[in-house]
Amino acid sequence: MKLYFVIPWYGEEIPGGAEAECRGTAKHLRSRGVDVEVLTTCIREFQSDWARNHHRPGLSEVGGIPVRRFPVRRCNKRAFDEVNARLMAGLPISRQEEQVFLDHMVLCPDLERFIADHRADAYFSFIPYMFATTVNGAKAAGNHAIQVPCLHDEAYARLSIYRGMFRKARGIVFQTREELALARDLYGIDDASTAVIGAGIELPEPGNGAGFQGRHGLGDYLLFAGRKSTGKNTPLLVDHFCRYVSETGAELSLVLIGSGNVQIPAGFSDRILDLGFVTAKDKQDALEGAIALAMPSVNESFSIVLMEAWAQGSPVLVHGACDVTVGHCKASNGGLWFRNYAEFRETLNYLVEHPEEAARMGANGRRYVQQNYAWDRVTDRWLHHLTRWGFSK
């Protein structure tokens, strides 16, 4: 049997968690003998025009994986944007508007036809849940559809168009227990179709934190790694950190790495170091040397960066309103969480003043990552559940 991954756009350099998961899973399943192919559109990436064919249609190879692209057709972008704006504002929409949302998002009838023509001897793994390639493709795949939703608690997830799709899926692959719990609440899905597999990570070489500190003239530091934005709660972290330093007089810096911008309050430019993009090696060094990785986002579906910090043996400090990251901390015994400034100060103080316990949390986190999210473990679970759902190599 063949296993197709169906995703709206595909490429080696495309950013995004779902895209990275698709690339990694396809690659590792292929290395274990599964006949894998990616089905996608000719759209370049998420940020591009979803009605523009950037790539040529047809079969090619990307990073050793066969990729078959199908052209998209023009759709009513304005109608889609109007409904999408209502959804993003948290306003209710009608059944008819749901259909407009689906019909004018990504139009790719050739892809749906291909799936319908090949479903007898293949399974189709759709990622992520929201796109028309997934909803329409799953209809074409019938009972050979496996969903990899990358589900968030957001307005889109509550649309009725997804309820039937999840209930009819042969299998649903979740990244975390919390994502599974959300899907159970929203769609009332059957346990037989679900599996918590997680996302795989490449276990990195040990970083050199002392070298990173030396290069940047740093003492002890708290690290934020990722996109700096309000959505990721970076301003909140900066605010809490500045209050912490002012109140406690602690000799601690905050290092920020990644894209985006955040306003650094006057008087703190010597305590907050925004390095922007750094090399992969620098990132590993920064993670290894940090007192802790701070992840203040409340909207994470997995959080690869937490795994990267733990892989380097560093503890983490996450926001208590994010079920997923708190769930990881509890399951790993690898980090603490805060829900307000008082808790931020208390937890950060603990990590600073108890280096042995902090190191123990980091070591626990490393075991958690090695035992759950190393690619061979993730691939084993994929193969186990594919077989459970009737797929055979």
Partner 1 sequence: MRPDTDPVSDLFIIADPELDVVQLMARLRENLAARGEVLPGLEPDPTEQRLEAALARARDTLASLGTLEIHREGWAGRLESFARRLLRKAIKPHLLHGAASDQAIFDLVLALLDRQFRLQQQYHQLATRMAEYERHQ
**Rounded distance between C-alpha atoms, residue 24 and residue 33, angstroms:** 15
Single residue of 353, 371, 376, 393 touching partner 1 by CB under 8 A: 371
Q: Give the pair of three-digit tokens for residue 161.
A: 């168009």
Residue 85 engages partner 1 in binding (rule: CB under 8 A): no
Residue 100 engages partner 1 in binding (rule: CB under 8 A): no
Residue 248 engages partner 1 in binding (rule: CB under 8 A): no
Which residue reads 């109608």 in tokens? 79
Q: Which is nearer to partner 1, 305 or 316 (CB)?
A: 316
Residue 381 engages partner 1 in binding (rule: CB under 8 A): yes
Report the nearest approach of partner 1 to the CB of residue 303 (Å).
Answer: 15
Contact in structure between 302 and 176 (CB atoms under 8 Å): yes
Residues of span 296-335 touching partner 1 by CB under 8 A: 298, 319-321, 329-335
Single residue of 133, 233, 253, 379 touching partner 1 by CB under 8 A: 233
What angle is formed at CA 310 by the lines to CA 305 and CA 316, rounded to 5 degrees? 75
Residue 259 engages partner 1 in binding (rule: CB under 8 A): no
DSSP state of 121: G
**Rounded distance between C-alpha atoms, residue 160 and residue 171, angstroms:** 19
Spatial neighbors of 315 by CB under 8 A, at least 6 apart, are: 292, 293, 309, 334, 335, 336, 351, 358, 359, 361, 362, 365
Pair type for strands 2-6 and 35-41:
parallel
Q: Which is nearer to partner 1, 45 or 153 (CB)?
A: 153
Contact in structure between 62 and 11 (CB atoms under 8 Å): yes
Beta partners for 206?
A: none
Residue 143 engages partner 1 in binding (rule: CB under 8 A): no
Q: Give the pair of three-digit tokens for residue 283.
A: 């990132």
> Taking each helix axis from N to C terminus, what angle separates 132-141 and 160-168, rounded to the nearest 10 degrees?
40
Q: Which is nearer to partner 1, 117 or 154 (CB)?
A: 154
Q: Which of 31, 40, 30 is nearest to 2 (CA)?
A: 30
Q: Which is nearer to partner 1, 7 or 237 (CB)?
A: 237
User: What is the chain's alpha carbon radius of gyration, rounded to the nearest angstrom?
Assistant: 22
Report the nearest approach of partner 1 to the CB of residue 365 (Å).
Answer: 8
Residue 218 engages partner 1 in binding (rule: CB under 8 A): no
Report the nearest approach of partner 1 to the CB of residue 172 (Å).
Answer: 12
Residue 88 engages partner 1 in binding (rule: CB under 8 A): no
Site string for partner 1, 164-203 (x = CB under 8 A): ----------x--x--xx-------------xx-x-----
Report the nearest approach of partner 1 to the CB of residue 373 (Å).
Answer: 9
Report the interface residues with partner 1, using CB under 8 A. 174, 177, 180-181, 195-196, 198, 230, 233, 235-236, 239, 263, 298, 319-321, 329-337, 339-340, 342-343, 346-347, 350, 357, 360-361, 364-365, 367-368, 371-372, 381
